[in-house]
Structure 1
Amino acid sequence: MKTQPLAQAAEPTPHHVPEWEQLSASDNVEVYRQGIALAAGRVDETTPEGSIIWLFLEHGQGRVVIHKCDSIDIFKVSQ
């Protein structure tokens, strides 16, 4: 009898979120600047107008604040 390998779950696909107010607490995100991945983490909160975002970084690296003026691109990782 020939066995078939188990299907592996598809990798989540990140998508760019230019309007940070569209993010919700606990969304998983990746942080990029000029196409270079800087960090990944989970949204803690955003300001109502979406100019500031607070993230809990992966692996217990702490909490950071990012401002739109920092030239950062945020990508939401679909679950």
Structure 2
Amino acid sequence: MARSAKHQMAEAPLRRATPAPHWKKLRQGDRVRVQLSPGFDAAGIVDAITADHSAVWVHLDGGRGRTLLHCGDGVEIFPYGD
């Protein structure tokens, strides 16, 4: 016999899902610095960007692969040198 279950869904996103203004300036082929958390940075090249700039694919240096970063993930992407 199945039990009744309550399935509650979050009413609001966990993090703000609007890209920072500097994300909107990123272009395919740009060299970037990705700040995963304070003190943990990685460098790479922008491979693709969604039309609304909320998600960015980056090829990380050192053979660490291609990763998808979303503006709601709590990561920062800066043009290299900033």
Give the TM-score normalised by the residue count of structure 2.
0.65
Runs ≥4 residues deviating over 2 A: 33-38
Question: What value does the CA root-mean-square deviation take over the aligned residues?
Answer: 1.9
Q: C-alpha separation between the residues in 2 aligned to 1:34 and 1:63? A: 18
If you compute each CA radius of gyration, which structure gives the higher value, 1 or 2? 2
Structure 2: gaps of 5 or more residues: 1-19
- 2:27 maps to 24
Q: Percent identity?
A: 34
- 1:54 maps to 57
Q: Secondary structure at the match of 2:44?
A: strand
Give the TM-score normalised by the residue count of structure 1.
0.67
| Structure with more contact order per residue of length (Cα contacts < 8 Å, sep ≥ 6) | 1
